[in-house]
Amino acid sequence: MFERAILVHFNEIGLKGRNRGRFERQLRDNIVAAVGHLAPRGVEKVASRLLVPVHESSAEAVLSCVSKTPGVSSASLAFITSRDPAEMERAAVLAVREAGPHARTFAIAARRSSTDHPEPSLEMNRRIGAVVQAETGLGVNLTRPDVTCTVEVVQGEVYVYARSVAGPGGLPVGTSGKVVSLLSAGIDSPVATWRIIRRGAVTVGLHFSGRPQTDSVSERVAAELAGVLAQGGGFARLYVVPFGDLQREISLAAPPDIRILLYRRLMIRIAEALAAEERAMGLVTGENLGQVASQTLDNIAAVDATATLPVLRPLIGHDKNEIIIEARAIGTYELSIQPHSDCCTLFIPRTPETHATAAQLDKGEVDLEIPRMVADAMDSLTWIDFPCHAYRAPKRFPVQMPEAS
Ligand code: ATP
Ligand code: MG
């Protein structure tokens, strides 16, 4: 039998010039951490790819894990053979069968990364294709095959693979710093969070619960969302703040029409206090221009006036239906539509302000003890940890038992 390996392809990090080594090392470390005991032989670098040798029995599990890792453009389940022509042919038959039990057509795509291999690629295609055709009875289709079997001659070895899974692309987590993402239990913020994870940022989530003014259902939903986001190894921790009493304080001291904006400002301040502990360099929200009253340009500007860190809004120009499609694709949509009480709707009138100014919000806050409120929130934080290789926990909030992954 042939040895098996997952061949990891990455595009964008190939473009990083002098930083390339750092990006590749981070990707390798992240994959080692993610697949751990399933790939005891570690991860090797082979001709601008990474190779994860696996046992046949854990191959599918490693493939699935690697293909969720940011920085990976695709992952392929390869047979490793020598340059013996008969071995390549046998492996190609196995690879085509494995990739397409219902396929009717196939093509062979031979490549030589090693130029010392004498047989030209076109010859290899013909030779191996003839054997696969005879053994499987499938037809050859060079333009739109159901299965493409790649045969790659690399240094001393040959990789033969037809089963590939697309990865998320993007950059390895740990190459873009750290952010605090405001994670509600809604549809948008998990998608926004995932986009930033995919760009290589270590992410900690911060969820504001309406507790004790509401139940804790949104906390459970946020934790489930965090579990999905953590699958790529980029979501390190979910913090939860019981926010209901602080909202109550705001509602007692401030006019109804700007309450939601004052909640938002307090959320931003608490997120920044957390970012200072975490040494995070930015905040993330799922905001979307004009989607709801609190997300008009005026209101975004009035809330942002309190922020000192950049507030990243990856979904700002997206339509809701585009966001929903993405939420479905990353597996968060069904969790986000579970019924839960949203803390933002606490003590809110039907017609909130849509054109607030920073000065108006400053005025609305004069009777509030903002520093004390932020300190109360920081004292009441709880958190759940997820496996994230590139994460370093702050001293004040040490690592707890990781969630079962
Ligand atoms: P989402 O689906 O992300 O909740 P939304 O369309 O419901 O978005 P809003 O409720 O106005 O929008 O919230 C805008 C953004 O503010 C959210 O995307 C999120 O980043 C942040 N946010 C709102 N509520 C909370 C919360 N309870 N905890 C943490 N962040 C929140
Ligand atoms: Mg919401």
- Nearest atom (ligand 1) to Cα of 285: 20
Please tell me the pTM assigned to this model.
Answer: 0.93
Rounded Cα distance, 271 and 207, in Å? 10
Which ligand is the nearest neighbour of the Cα of 285? Answer: 1
Q: For residue 380, report the distance from its CA to the centre of ligand 1, in Å.
A: 20
Encode pLDDT of 326-341 as tens digits.
999 999 999 999 999 8
Q: Is residue 392 part of a domain?
A: no
Q: For residue 187, report the distance from its CA to the centre of ligand 1, in Å.
A: 9
Name the residue with the closest Cα to ligand 1, atom 14: 287
Asked whether the beta carbons of 151 and 158 are under 8 A apart, the reply is yes
- Structural domain for 304, as ranges: 178-385
| Count of domains observed in the chain | 2
Residues 92 and 158 in one domain: yes
Q: List, chain by chain if needed, residues with CB within 6 Å of any ligand 1 atom.
A: 182-184, 186-189, 206-208, 285-287, 291-292, 294-295, 343-344
- Nearest atom (ligand 1) to Cα of 288: 6
What residues form DSSP beta bridges with 300? none
3-state secondary structure of 103: coil
Asked whether the beta carbons of 308 and 275 are under 8 A apart, the reply is no
Q: pLDDT per position in the chain (405 positions), as tens?
A: 899 999 999 986 656 677 788 899 999 999 999 998 898 889 999 878 899 999 999 999 999 999 999 999 999 999 999 999 999 999 999 999 999 888 999 999 999 886 788 899 999 999 999 999 999 999 999 999 999 999 999 888 999 999 999 999 999 999 999 999 999 999 999 999 999 999 999 999 999 999 999 999 999 999 999 999 999 999 999 999 999 999 999 999 999 999 999 999 999 999 999 999 999 999 999 999 987 777 899 999 999 999 999 999 999 999 999 999 999 999 999 999 999 988 878 878 778 889 999 999 999 999 999 999 999 999 999 999 999 999 999 999 999 865 555
Q: For residue 224, report the distance from its CA to the centre of ligand 1, in Å.
A: 16
Residues 321 and 242 in one domain: yes
> Of 305, 315, 314, 311, nearest to 281 (Cα)?
311
Q: Which residues surround ligand 2, an ion (CB under 5 A)?
A: 184, 186
Q: Is residue 393 part of a domain?
A: no
Handedness of CA 113, 117, 122, 124 (dihedral sign): negative
The one-letter code for the residue type at 126 is R
Q: For residue 326, report the distance from its CA to the centre of ligand 2, in Å.
A: 17
- Of 179, 181, 182, best ligand 1 pocket probe by most atoms within 8 Å of the beta carbon: 182
Residues 286 and 193 in one domain: yes
> Of 373, 364, 372, nearest to 302 (Cα)?
364
- Alpha-helix runs per DSSP H in 68-187: 85-99, 121-136
Which ligand is the nearest neighbour of the Cα of 193? Answer: 1
Q: Is residue 394 part of a domain?
A: no
> Of 162, 158, 149, nearest to 109 (Cα)?
149
Q: For residue 155, report the distance from its CA to the centre of ligand 1, in Å.
A: 51
Q: For residue 12, report the distance from its CA to the centre of ligand 2, in Å.
A: 33
Indicate the residue among 121, 136, 166 that finishes a domain. Answer: 166
Q: Is residue 139 part of a domain?
A: yes
pLDDT, residue 159, reads 96
Indicate the residue among 166, 195, 230 that finishes a domain. Answer: 166
Torsion of Cα atoms, 292 then 325 then 182 then 174, to 10°? -150
Asked whether the beta carbons of 108 and 142 are under 8 A apart, the reply is no
Q: What percent of the chain clears pLDDT 70, i.e. is strictly above it?
A: 97
- Of 180, 182, 184, 304, best ligand 1 pocket probe by most atoms within 8 Å of the beta carbon: 184
Q: Is residue 304 part of a domain?
A: yes
> Of 96, 103, 143, 150, nearest to 124 (Cα)?
150
Name the residue with the closest Cα to ligand 1, atom 7: 186
Which ligand is the nearest neighbour of the Cα of 303? Answer: 1
